[in-house]
Copies of this chain bind each other. A is one copy, B any other.
């Protein structure tokens, strides 16, 4: 028995759905037709992002919503160049993201920075010259 190596959705728990939707739409992302009143979906090219109230998400997984500090999860969008990373950073900032780490040369030979969404979910923006196939199309 095995599990298909596939990711259907990443769901981020949010404290203010309208605020988070506005943030991701300000990146130029469009909600998919699956969005309903309490949950929003965005297609991310092969997988999907869901935004859902953090209390409801915890309830769905039978968890307490209590938590804090480092979440131990990061999401990354790779670009095809250093300039592509800088452009993504500028767009995130324009949408209201917090800069967590200014993009810089990384020990592993690439270029990487971090931003946070309105709930502190961390997005890494990176150029990885060794894995160009991971990069977003059109991110030169």
Given A6-B77, A54-B72, A45 and B44 contact (CB-CB distance below 8 Å):
no
Name the contact of A70 in the complex, choosing from B66, B74, B119 (C-beta under 8 A): B66
- Report whether A73 and B73 are in contact in the complex, using a CB–CB cutoff of 8 Å: yes
- Which residues from chain B contact A137 at a C-beta distance below 8 Å? 4, 6
Q: Which residues between 23 and 45 of chain A lie within 8 Å of chain B, taking CB atoms? A: 27-30, 34, 42-45
Q: How many copies does the complex hold?
A: 2
- Which residues from chain B contact A7 at a C-beta distance below 8 Å? 7, 10, 44-47, 49, 75-77
Residue A13 at the B interface, CB < 8 A?
yes
Given A66-B69, A94-B1, A136-B4, A61 and B45 contact (CB-CB distance below 8 Å):
no
Q: Which of A3, A11, A57 has the most CB of B within 10 A?
A: A3
Return the chain B residue nearest A44 by Cβ: B7
- Which residues from chain B contact A136 at a C-beta distance below 8 Å? 3-6, 8
- Report whether B4 and A77 are in contact in the complex, using a CB–CB cutoff of 8 Å: yes
- Report whether A5 and B70 are in contact in the complex, using a CB–CB cutoff of 8 Å: no
8 A-B pairs besides A34-B131, A61-B124 with CB distance below 8 A are A3-B28, A5-B30, A6-B46, A7-B45, A10-B10, A10-B75, A11-B76, A13-B74
Interface pairs (10), CB distance under 8 Å: A6-B139, A10-B10, A12-B72, A61-B100, A61-B122, A64-B69, A65-B70, A66-B69, A67-B68, A67-B70
